[in-house]
Amino acid sequence: RDDTPVPENHNTNTNTNTNTNTTTTTSARHYTSLKILARDAKYFPPLNFGVVESDVYRCGHPQNVNYPFLKSLELKTIVYVGDKTNNWEYYKWIQENNIQFIHVPISTTEQHNNFEQEQQIPYLLDIITTKSNHPLLIHSNKGKHRVGLLVAILRKKVHGWLLAAIYDEYGKFAK
């Protein structure tokens, strides 16, 4: 396995000279943004992807490149708590893969009725904790604050976590 970072413009040539028995190697190599050799990568998790519990995942809004990864999770349900409504390609992918899609918009601005949004939390917790909806993905636009809040409430109300652990997890995703 060759994970040694190599500059992007690095080339080695393979030529064998029968008179001198010297060999030089040339190969086209592809590297990730971290300058790590990419070996036929097939799966790319969405932004801020994480495991909440067995068969429950969290992330930011999936992009086309994330679809093969999401398909490998064999999702039954996607819960979207963001405010985008015009991602037709994404909605088409969900429909083609027979995934139940639940959109409960949670606003990040104070212009919206916070009381109304608070009333959605028990509904969302019920969806997330219902095993027949699993495997389940919860996502917002970036997978930070809205998903973080929902997961924090789940951690406290259902899992019984201490607030220090909840804040620690929230902080890791909210950066």
In the numeric block, which tokens belong to residue 35?
Answer: 């300058």
Q: How confident is the model at residue 8 (pLDDT cuts 50, 70, 90)?
A: very low
Across the range 154-163, mean pLDDT stands at 97
Whether 67 shows a pLDDT value over 80: the answer reads: yes
CA 56 – CA 131 distance, rounded (Å):
10
CA 56 – CA 138 distance, rounded (Å):
8
- Phi then psi for residue 8, to 5 deg, are -60, -35
Peptide bond into 7 cis (omega under 30): no
CA 63 – CA 48 distance, rounded (Å):
12
More confident residue, 14 or 120: 120
More confident residue, 23 or 98: 98
By mean pLDDT, which of 30-34, 100-104, 109-113, 147-151 is the weakest? Answer: 30-34
More confident residue, 31 or 121: 121
CA 133 – CA 76 distance, rounded (Å):
6
The DSSP letter of residue 37 is B
CA atoms within a 13 Å half-sphere pointing along the CA-CB vector of 124? 26
User: Strand 56-59 to strand 50-53: parallel, antiparallel, or no bridges (unpaired)?
Assistant: antiparallel
Whether 44 shows a pLDDT value over 70: the answer reads: yes
CA 49 – CA 72 distance, rounded (Å):
14
Whether 32 shows a pLDDT value over 80: the answer reads: no
- Going from the C-alpha of 152 to that of each of 82, 86, 89, 98, the distances in angstroms are 17, 28, 30, 29
Q: Which residues of 42-53 are buried (b: 16+ CB within 10 A; e: fewer)?
A: eebbbbbbeebe
By mean pLDDT, which of 4-8, 101-105, 138-142 is the weakest? Answer: 4-8
3-class state of residue 120 by DSSP: helix
In the numeric block, which tokens belong to residue 24?
Answer: 């030089």
Chain segment 117-155, per-residue pLDDT in tens: 788 999 999 999 999 999 999 999 999 999 999 999 999
Residue 111 burial (CB count, 10 A): 7
In the numeric block, which tokens belong to residue 34?
Answer: 């971290």
